[in-house]
Structure 1
């Protein structure tokens, strides 16, 4: 039976591979085609709780202006085309009456699922990132997030999932940077902080970490240049000056605070991850509530 790898993050790609290893696609693969409508259908199922949704909910997402008979016909045709395209693999879409479910068995690897599981686990126990091996595993998982989830699709469920995965990615990237800094692995922190600031340039805690990493890697000029970039983008986008702690760090780096030691402005990595896990769970419940409200409004 064929093994499949599906990429939703940054691209829409179906890859037929050899035997997949846990958590990652096998090396060596051939690209294959899926019907265009397969991607929003699969994306909506990935965005649904437990990867299950009603036909009515899916049809409302895909064809909000179509009458029910027409939408049902189009949906049935789309399911047939998807199953035909994936005929040699285990069925990925299973119909259980009015409920449509995504079957993520051992024969299919999905980047969005792999990324979400790994990053959620990391954020639930960030103290494990004190271990270099755990940080390397996280770097690999972050690399599987190649870009926004189905960026060309505009269904509301997909947009919610896109925002959720992006938030997970940025939170995990920050946790990686903070853990590397706490461990004194400043070259690691410099790389991940650079990525984080490129993605979220208005995030001053990340900017301070990058300034600190540049300094600890022996490049005072680059640290000050990063401050100027931070200062400029805050003025341009928000019309504000950097926070006092950011300005204080820049002054210390520049040597204006004579005799002061260089501060180590590291965020604390909590020993007890219970509160973090509770916040992640609360965020998931909010997203699920929004989906329920949306379904009620479209009925």
Structure 2
């Protein structure tokens, strides 16, 4: 399931069209948090609102999600059972989420996993949704992805400067004022003999630092 940059759900290799964003949000919530009561879901999706209309909106969104999943030819079971007061995704559904790749990669420490997580990051988590739980997860995913980029850059800086340049570039794109990302980016440029590019990157970083926080870099290009 693609949750970074936009929500896109595929089932059996076939893209699934969800009738409304709330249906997708329910799907992502359950995939991340597991079985949940109606109250937990409404509280998460509508930031604790107790308004009756939100309960009605939830019921419609949940029913439409179930119908959308059940319409797939391979689904001959109830994909969203409601049992003993909780909603959950069927155990027969295997859900893969791109938003968990960076944290998994950081735990494994495998450069291939780190690279896969960076390649999967197509933008913020569920950018069209602004519920509190979405914003919190968005910040976590961005932080994990930044850490994965820095870890890959550090691993590659001596053995593969081109990969280091790509990784530190991803880190700098996520957090333009991050000094570690900028230092790594400059080191990679210089390791590749790209001294003019390093000078341009340093000048761009210094100018952005002045414009946004009124500060100067804590290091010179010669100190990288």
What's the TM-score once normalised by structure 1's chain length?
A: 0.65
Q: Does structure 2 retain, via aligned residues, the 8 Å contact 1:45–1:52?
A: yes
Which aligned pairs between 1:123-202 and structure 2 lie closer than 5 A?
A: 123-126=106-109, 134-181=110-157, 183-202=158-177
Unaligned runs of 5+ in 2: none
In 2 relative to 1, CA 105–211 (structure 1 residues): closer, same or farther, beyond 3 Å?
Answer: farther
Q: Among 66, 77, 97, which residue is 1:110 paired with?
A: 97
Q: Deviations over 1:59-92 (max 9, x none)?
A: 1333455534x44433233222111111143544
Greater Cα offset, 191-200 or 92-101: 92-101
In 2 relative to 1, CA 199–110 (structure 1 residues): closer, same or farther, beyond 3 Å?
Answer: closer
Task: Measure, in 2, the Cα distance between the counterparts of 1:124 and 1:61.
Answer: 28
Which aligned pairs between 1:196-235 and structure 2 lie closer than 5 A?
A: 196-235=171-210
Measure how far apart 1:193 and its partner are: 1.1
Q: Among 55, 63, 66, which residue is 2:38 paired with?
A: 55
Which aligned pairs between 1:1-299 and structure 2 lie closer than 5 A?
A: 6-17=1-12, 29-36=13-20, 37-48=22-33, 51-63=34-46, 65=49, 67-68=51-52, 70-87=53-70, 88=72, 89=75, 91-103=78-90, 105=92, 107-112=94-99, 116=100, 118-126=101-109, 134-181=110-157, 183-243=158-218, 246-247=219-220, 250-252=221-223
Task: Measure, in 2, the Cα distance between the counterparts of 1:125 and 1:242.
Answer: 33
Measure how far apart 1:35 and its partner are: 1.9
In 2 relative to 1, CA 60–106 (structure 1 residues): closer, same or farther, beyond 3 Å?
Answer: closer
Secondary structure of the residue aligned to 1:109 is coil
Task: Measure, in 2, the Cα distance between the counterparts of 1:180 and 1:189.
Answer: 5
Measure how far apart 1:140 and its partner are: 2.3
Task: Measure, in 1, the Cα distance between the counterparts of 2:152 and 2:18.
Answer: 35
Secondary structure of the residue aligned to 2:4 is coil
Q: Deviations over 1:196-219 (max 9, x none)?
A: 112211001111111111001011
Return the structure number with greater strand share.
Answer: 1
Measure how far apart 1:16 and its partner are: 3.5
Measure how far apart 1:8 and its partner are: 1.5
Measure how far apart 1:125 and its partner are: 4.6
Task: Measure, in 1, the Cα distance between the counterparts of 2:25 and 2:93.
Answer: 22
Higher Rg: 1
What's the TM-score once normalised by structure 2's chain length?
A: 0.85
Measure how far apart 1:104 and its partner are: 6.3
Number of aligned residue pairs: give it.
218
Unaligned runs of 5+ in 1: 1-5, 18-28, 127-133, 253-264, 266-299
RMSD over aligned Cα atoms: 2.4
Secondary structure of the residue aligned to 1:93 is coil
